[in-house]
Amino acid sequence: MASPRVKPRLLARGRRASAPLIKVKPVGAASSGPIFSRFTAVWVQSNGVPFDTSGFFARLFRGNTLVQTASFDRFGVVRFSRVSTLTQVAYTIRVFDSSGVEFRRRNIPAGVETFAIIG
């Protein structure tokens, strides 16, 4: 006569209380938010190489209201410290040289954290 099959006992969860529980985020969840905390614009040539923008500055407008003026670094990057990302409204960026001559004007849509000015 065959003996009934016996299932192993379920161990009490209290025995593993001393082991720390490590929660791991899925890969997709780690990159779901914005990377940059402040709005950043990059001025690049048509081949993707940034311009040498020493002495240039940019002004960010919301409608006709000036939001902030910021200077470019020499690698073609300007960071607007007063504008958090992802942007909630549309902006206009105007780029000037050190003499105040306007070089570019671009419209920036809402919902971005970085913007490339090409050309």
SS3 content of the chain, % helix, strand, coil (to 5): 5, 40, 55
Bridge partner residues of 70 (DSSP)? 58
Give the Cα separation of 46 and 68 in Å (integer): 27
Q: What is the mean pLDDT of the chain?
A: 84
* Residue 30: φ, ψ to 5°: -70, -25
SS3 109: coil
Q: Is residue 100 part of a domain?
A: yes
- 81 occurs within a structural domain: yes
* % of the chain residues with pLDDT over 90: 56
Domain-located, residue 4: no
Whole-structure pTM value: 0.71
In this model, does residue 22 exceed pLDDT 80?
no
Region 97-104: mean pLDDT is 92
Looking at the structure of the chain, the number of domains it has is 1
Q: Print the domain residue range for 113.
A: 38-118
Per-residue pLDDT at 17 exceeds 60? no
105 occurs within a structural domain: yes
- Alpha helices (H) along the chain: 27-30
58 within 8 A of 96, measured Cβ to Cβ = yes
Which CATH number belongs to the domain containing residue 69 in this structure?
2.60.40.10
Q: Which two tokens stand for residue 35?
A: 């990377």
On whether residue 84 sits in a domain, the answer given is yes
Residue 90 included in any domain: yes
